[in-house]
Amino acid sequence: MTSTIPTAQPLPEAAPPASPAPSAGPSRLRHSRPDLLLCGGLLTAILLVQGWNITGFPALSDDEGTYLAQAWSVQEGRGLAHYTYWYDHPPLGWLQMALVTWLPAAVSPGLMAVAPMRCAMLLVSAASAVLLYVLARRLGLRPWAAGLAMGLFGLSPLSVVLQREIFLDNIAVMWVLLAFCLAASPRRHLWHHFGAGLAAAVAVLTKETMLVVLPALLVTMWQHSHRATRKFAVTGAVTACGLTGLTYPLFALLNHELVPGPGHVSLWDGITYQMSRPGSGFLLDEGSGAHAALRSWLYYDRVLPLGGLAAAVLLVAAWRWSAAARPPAGPALAVLLLTAMALRPSGYLPAMYVIQALPFLALALAGSVHALSHVVRGEEGSGGRTRRRRVVVGSGVTAAVALAGVLVVPHWYDANRTALTTDANAPYRAAHAWMSDRTHVPDPARTRVLTDDALWLDLVHAGYRPGTGAIWFYKADLDPAVARTLPRGWRDVDYVVASPTVRRDAATLPLVRAALEHSRAVVSFGEGEDRVEIRRIDRRDRDTP
Amino acid sequence: MLTAAFVCVVSLALFWMAAFTLWWQMHAWRTPETLAATRFAPPRDKGSLSFSLLVPARHEQAVLEHTVTRLLESTHADYEVLVVVGHDDPGTTEVAERVAARAPGRVRVIVDTHEKKNKPKALNTALPHCRGDVVGVFDAEDQVHPELLSHVDHAFRETGADVVQGGVQLINFHSSWYSLRNCLEYFFWFRSRLHLHAAKGFIPLGGNTVFVRTGVLREAGGWDPHCLAEDCDLGVRLSSRGKRVVVAYDSEMVTREETPGSLMCLLKQRTRWNQGFLQVYRKRDWRQLPTLAQRMLARYTLMTPFFQAFTGIIVPLNIAVALFLDVPAGIAVVTFLPAVTMLVTFVFEIVGLHDFGAQYGLRVRLVHYLKLVAGGPFYQLLLAGAAVRAVWREQRGQGDWELTRHVGAHLAQEPVREGVAR
């Protein structure tokens, strides 16, 4: 590996021929039977594994409820959120969700709840998986390597768990993958690159943390554009991305909510809040929140996060002397950027942070295996490489792959079996059923419940008034508009659906804490930490001033 | 509500117009392959066609000699130069006679005796005297590259074309803020947009560096003497009859010109073109184009000056509506779409200016970029003014020729660069 061999170099810098005959062009990919079969087969497997028991596992998360409820609010014409939209995130993510779920919600309003709507995420997963395959092929990976990337991305237990959930990150990943695919367009078309900028902007407006990945996208585009047209292509893409991104501040400006002022929320405040969120500590510090997040990822899968990271380092380091390592170096750079971001000790690291890295980790892993296979087959590096050394390296790599298989397959099998069979949401369903039962709660429309976001839509469909009847528990403390409707504090509340989230966060929420203290469990579903209790506020406590 | 709907419709219409214009303007840079295909293929021989080069000259004694002398430096073997002068223009005639005497057989002087003179009449006067297989047109102030004819010859033979349009480029971008924009307009038009028109089979030809097979030209009856944009008209007529037009652009091979000397001259020139486009539109030759897409392209292209004027007025109005009237934020965002497209166009213009500088080995400074951006709205205003003026004049039946005067700015200030680095 001492000299640069142009075998896998996809970027001829000389003036191209006038005939449009790019290698591995989109038309070729679309009409290539092995590619279609492989991609289609993997897609079926991914959809089966991710789709089976999607409503049962993992446990419904608060964030899923938040975004879906805001999508519901958009569908109902109540604005960007049923509480005051305060620029916590750009709204494009749940606007898309509202669009996708519009038809099923129109047919059957009850479907617009977290568990059933997880099915919509299958569309996102499918699109992302196919885009990853296309991207891998466009970056010069052979079909088997592209299939490896797609399989790692779609079937890793970590992906299965996280991609099932209604997270903005999953939608943003789809857009950023589209951006990468367009940036690596084999036709090097100006408007493909422009489209890459647009898609990148949509990704950022879906989940703002995608900003971190943009430099890697730029590198990919730079690599895949031609010298003669590069300045137009890259400038166009940057312009498209910037201008589209500016619609968000423009939107705030048009609402007179760009800068802080009395009596209204503002984009500035939203950004300040996000930037000043208490850090979750250093990732490698055992006691930190960031480390807990890391542990939860590694619990599901070690191969993809750790193997992918190592592969990314390898690819970026091999940039100079390996032609096969260069094309997937862009995605590998994305991994490094995301890792660097996660290693900031002061930063806030949410549990879903890893979602954005998943496709790039998978691509880096598959890309490095692909590059190694080039080395083994002697397609790269020339001087002094003897047949025997090749055999040695080859058998070494084969042994490593076999070992990885032995280590990976049983763990993946177990973890995915859990995902396919465990019902983690029985307590939620039971709580929903109890709250909907008129023999328990005769008049939902006049009953006020503190609940977490995951169950909120179910309660709304059961007849509780959205916002002031069914109340996101933390809004009772944090949103002045909601607090005004509870003049006597916890005494104005009838029930608390105490899920693990509610019990955990009550520590910092006085009203919720008081409501929990002055209530008793009427019924409890599930066991131990994961139980969901329905607590009624004590009548006697309530009427004493 | 009605206001909102109206604003939405207008915004979307403007957006599509601006988007299409941008799409076409960027045609050449779509893919590296497209860009490579816009260039002349290098000729393998000295050529086998014969050329008759027409140079109509009216009050051009200052620049004519230089132009013809340079034409005579051509490396092509077989060509003649026909200088067309007016019978009432002794100054230019004297210069023309002097040059002709120096190169007998190569240069001839044709005298146009029409009472009211214009360029198409001059060209038509010379057409019967042409002996070459191909007629080429140059303006009296043009700087023509010595190897152009060989390249054009090769292009004719290789592609079997009936018409070959070469590149024309205004060079004196440093003269004033509007000449900067004017140069860039030419750059985008000849470097990029014309190639799209050639590919689509509908092309408004340029006024010079245009070559037509003599037979085809005679069959078409020469130029329309009553049209103010006789070049555009010829292109439309020929492409409507299915004649094959090829465009080639090579920064080394372009014909260099100068921008009009004053803002008023530019306004007059632009008015004339706009009026000419309007006349061509009303002549309806383009209706013979076989496909609907071609006819739509023709309709749109010929109406472009008026769309431009319209856009220039409406876009600021639209933004004002969005900012000051009480429309929903979603709708207000829609009203920004045309402005956003214009911004994208601006950015591509900046990159275009950089490319222009690189192609021609010219030093483009920061101040020029700033001028380009700052001058944008004013140039838009000028274009709008010219469009309105053209409609006004056409309505009142004023069809006379407002001539652009040339002072030779591109000759004095910009020495000809041979083989500029690209």
DSSP states of A167-206: -HHHHHHHHHHHHHHHHT-TT--HHHHHHHHHHHHHHHHH
Q: Given this model, what pLDDT does residue A358 score?
A: 97
Nearest CA-CA partner of A303 in A406, A172, A420, A170: A406
Q: Whose structure tokens read 């620049």?
A: B63
Mutation choice for A interface testing from B26, B27, B30, B318 by most A CBs within 10 A: B30
Question: Which residue of chain A is at minimal alpha-carbon distance from B19?
Answer: A191
Task: Please name the helix (run of DSSP H) or strand (run of DSSP E) that holds residue A540, with its range, or none.
Answer: helix A539-543
Mutation choice for B interface testing from A190, A192, A248 by most B CBs within 10 A: A190
Per-residue pLDDT tens digits for A459-480: 999 999 998 899 999 988 888 8
Question: Which residue of chain A is at minimal alpha-carbon distance from B334?
Answer: A247
Evaluate if residue B416 carries a pLDDT over 60: no
Tokens found for residue B20: 């299409």
Tokens found for residue B214: 């003599």
Q: Given this model, what pLDDT does residue A79 score?
A: 83
Per-residue pLDDT tens digits for B235-288: 999 999 999 999 989 888 899 988 998 999 999 999 999 999 999 999 999 999
Nearest CA-CA partner of B393 in B303, B266, B279, B310: B279
Provide the angle, in degrees to the nearest 10, between the axes of the packed helices A157-164 and A143-155.
Answer: 60
Region B131-150: what's the mean pLDDT?
93
pLDDT > 90 in chain A, percent = 55
**DSSP character for B387?**
H
Provide the angle, in degrees to the nearest 10, between the axes of the packed helices B90-102 and B64-71.
Answer: 30
Q: In this structure, how many other beta carbons lie within 10 angstroms of the beta carbon of residue A469?
A: 18
Evaluate if residue A372 carries a pLDDT over 90: no
Evaluate if residue A542 carries a pLDDT over 90: no
Closest approach of A338 to chain B, Cα-based (Å): 30
Q: Whose structure tokens read 């768990």?
A: A161
Closest approach of A474 to chain B, Cα-based (Å): 29
Evaluate if residue A27 carries a pLDDT over 60: no
Write down the mean pLDDT value for chain A: 87
B320 in contact with A, Cβ within 8 Å:
no
Per-residue pLDDT tens digits for A75-92: 988 888 888 888 888 999
Query: What is the pTM for the complete model shown?
Result: 0.89
A126 in contact with B, Cβ within 8 Å:
no
A131: confidence class by pLDDT, cuts 50, 70, 90: very high
Q: Where are the domains of chain B?
A: 1-37+161-413
Task: Report CB contact under 8 Å: B36, A17.
Answer: yes
Decide which of A239 and B335 is more confident.
A239
Nearest CA-CA partner of B406 in B302, B292, B261: B261
Task: Report CB contact under 8 Å: A243, B354.
Answer: no
Task: Report CB contact under 8 Å: A226, B333.
Answer: no
Lowest mean pLDDT among A162-171, A404-413, B327-336: B327-336
SS (H, E, C) A114-161: HHHHHHHHHHHHHHHHHHHHHHHHHCCCCHHHHHHHHHHHHHCHHHHH
Q: Given this model, what pLDDT does residue B296 score?
A: 93
Tell me if B153 sits within 8 A of B43, measured CB to CB. yes
The Cα–Cα gap between B253 and B152 comes to: 10
Task: Report CB contact under 8 Å: B355, A229.
Answer: no
Q: Given this model, what pLDDT does residue B396 score?
A: 84
SS (H, E, C) A24-55: CCHHHHHHCHHHHHHHHHHHHHHHHHHHCCCC
**Inter-CA distances, A531 with A83, A227, A497, A498, A499, Å:** 28, 61, 11, 8, 7
CA B412 to chain centre: 23
b/e burial code for range A398-434 (CB count within 10 A of at least 16 → b):
eeeeeeeeeebeeebeebbebbbeeebbebbbbbbeb
Task: Report CB contact under 8 Å: A236, B347.
Answer: yes
The Cα–Cα gap between B31 and A188 comes to: 6
Q: Which chain A residues are closer than 8 Å to B322 by Cβ?
A: 254
Closest approach of A232 to chain B, Cα-based (Å): 6
The ipTM of this complex is 0.86
Question: Which residue of chain B is at minimal alpha-carbon distance from A189?
Answer: B31
Per-residue pLDDT tens digits for A195-221: 999 999 999 999 999 999 999 999 999
* Inter-chain CB pairs, A–B, below 8 Å: 70
Lowest mean pLDDT among A50-59, A314-323, A383-392: A383-392
The radius of gyration of chain B's CA atoms, rounded to the nearest angstrom, is: 22
Decide which of A170 and B323 is more confident.
A170
